[in-house]
Amino acid sequence: MKKQTKTLLIIAVIVIVAAAYFYPRLESRKSNDSAVNSAGAGSGAPSSLPVKVVKLERETLRNQLSVTGTIQPNESVDLRTEIQGLITKISFKEGQFVSKGTPLLYLNDDELQAQFQRLQYTQKLFESQENRQKQLLAREAISQEEYDIVLNQYNTTLSDLKLVEAQLSKTVIRAPFNGILGLRQVSEGSVIGTNDIIANFVNIDPIKIEFSIPERYANMVSVGSPIYFSNESSPEEVMGKVYAFEPQIDAATRTLKLRAESPNKERKYLPGMFVRIRFVLGETENALMVPSESIVPELQGYKVFVVGADNKAEERKVEIGTRTDTHVQIISGLDVGDLVLTTGVLQAKTGSPVEFTQIN
């Protein structure tokens, strides 16, 4: 009896130890199986894709380019003298605005004045001789040849006077147009030649804006096309108009060079300034525009995703038109009121549920 009791006790101890060892592991396995089953049940029910959409409306499409350009003066010249001479007087101030024809600088003209005075005396002498010879010829007291000699001397003297007058006019340097004088490069008392620059002289009202556009837009350019430009010193946009463009494409850059004109009464823009230009090529009324990020390129063209029935994504094939910096024109494939996806485009699939937020 004692032996049987001992055996039963040993068996009971073994059972208890085995239960203590295996029971926690069984519970853990059940928990894992439950978690797996729960995860499997969750994956079977697809969740909605959060996206942002825009509602299509008709709007005015302004086909425009964003390019850069350079301010140029309306007129610009380096003032020089036509003859060599000694500067006797400078009558302008640096940075001064002067009108066309204003005297700016005088050269020594003593020798020319002496020549001019001598020719005036000679001209008076020959003029009186010509009058006497004409009277004698009328009375046939002299021959025609004698009269012609005196007349030729008189006319030659008149020509010499005009030549000296022209030389005298070159001793005074005048403003060739209305403009502003730059920094002076010469001083009174110095002798200058035809290669010496007196000062730079510019007209900056109006100003010219020079820029280039890609050749594919060349047929859309016309005289009078508006542009809007600004720079760092004046961020406010100013309007100008194209007044001329090159009759050929630059073969090196494949661009067309244009020039526009704009008033500059306050002289805010100076020649050489860098400007940002918004060049308006044309306008299209009632255009359908979508953000560029909504367009998905394919081998056969382009597509977009819209919110369809039951808030599910729907694929649409589209034909695109003009592109701007941020939007693309839709020619066909969409209608007014369609909700076009702007985010989640790469994750969206036809029939997948979406949760959308409309943006302006």
Q: In the numeric block, which tokens belong to residue 57? A: 């409306």
Nearest to 309 by CA among 339, 271, 269: 339
Please tell me whether residues 82 and 184 are part of one structural domain. Answer: yes
pLDDT band for position 19 (50/70/90)?
Answer: low
For residue 308, give the 3-state DSSP assignment.
coil
- Domain assignment present for residue 24? The answer is no
Mean pLDDT of the chain: 87
- Where on the phi/psi map is residue 133: left (φ > 0), alpha (ψ -120 to 50), or beta? alpha
- Where on the phi/psi map is residue 101: left (φ > 0), alpha (ψ -120 to 50), or beta? left
Cα separation of 347 and 352, whole Å?
Answer: 9
Tell me the CATH number at 84. 1.10.287.470
Please tell me whether residues 243 and 305 are part of one structural domain. Answer: no
- Domain assignment present for residue 268? The answer is yes
pLDDT above 60 (res 326): yes
Please tell me whether residues 83 and 187 are part of one structural domain. Answer: yes
Cα separation of 209 and 277, whole Å?
Answer: 9
CA distances from 315 to 54, 234, 297, 312, 357 (A): 15, 46, 13, 10, 18
Q: Which residue has the higher pLDDT, 15 or 69?
A: 69
Please tell me whether residues 220 and 322 are part of one structural domain. Answer: no
Please tell me whether residues 209 and 258 are part of one structural domain. Answer: yes
Residue with tokens 């066309």: 100
Other residues' Cβ atoms within 10 Å of the Cβ of residue 249: 15
Please tell me whether residues 319 and 217 are part of one structural domain. Answer: no
C-alpha torsion angle, residues 312, 313, 317, 323 (rounded to 10): 130
One-letter identity of residue 281 = L
The residue from 131, 162, 192 where one domain ends is 192
Please tell me the predicted confidence (pLDDT) of residue 34: 47
- Report which secondary-structure segment, H or E, holds 149: helix 144-169
- Report which secondary-structure segment, H or E, holds 329: strand 327-332
One-letter identity of residue 174 = R
Average pLDDT of the segment spanning 62-90: 93
Please tell me whether residues 86 and 159 are part of one structural domain. Answer: yes
Tell me the CATH number at 263. 2.40.30.170
Cα separation of 291 and 147, whole Å?
Answer: 93
Please tell me the predicted confidence (pLDDT) of residue 30: 47
- Domain assignment present for residue 197? The answer is no
Q: Which residue has the higher pLDDT, 15 or 48?
A: 48
* Per-residue model confidence as pLDDT tens digits over 248-287: 999 999 999 999 999 999 889 999 999 999 988 877 888 8
One-letter identity of residue 40 = G
- Domain assignment present for residue 235? The answer is yes
Count up the domains in the chain and report the number: 3
Q: In the numeric block, which tokens belong to residue 339? A: 């909700």
Other residues' Cβ atoms within 10 Å of the Cβ of residue 211: 22
Please tell me whether residues 279 and 297 are part of one structural domain. Answer: no
Task: Give the domain extent around 264.
Answer: 68-73+205-284
Nearest to 224 by CA among 239, 208, 242: 242
The residue from 161, 192, 223 where one domain ends is 192
For residue 136, give the 3-state DSSP assignment.
helix
The residue from 268, 284, 300 where one domain ends is 284
Tell me the CATH number at 355. 2.40.420.20
pTM (2 decimals)? 0.64
Please tell me whether residues 259 and 174 are part of one structural domain. Answer: no
Please tell me whether residues 135 and 239 are part of one structural domain. Answer: no
- Domain assignment present for residue 319? The answer is yes
- Domain assignment present for residue 44? The answer is no
- Domain assignment present for residue 322? The answer is yes
Please tell me whether residues 59 and 134 are part of one structural domain. Answer: no
Please tell me whether residues 322 and 275 are part of one structural domain. Answer: no
Q: Which residue has the higher pLDDT, 280 or 230?
A: 230
What end-to-end distance do the CA atoms of the chain give, in Å?
94
Please tell me the predicted confidence (pLDDT) of residue 37: 47
* Per-residue model confidence as pLDDT tens digits over 99-120: 999 999 999 999 999 999 999 9
- Domain assignment present for residue 335? The answer is yes
For residue 183, give the 3-state DSSP assignment.
coil
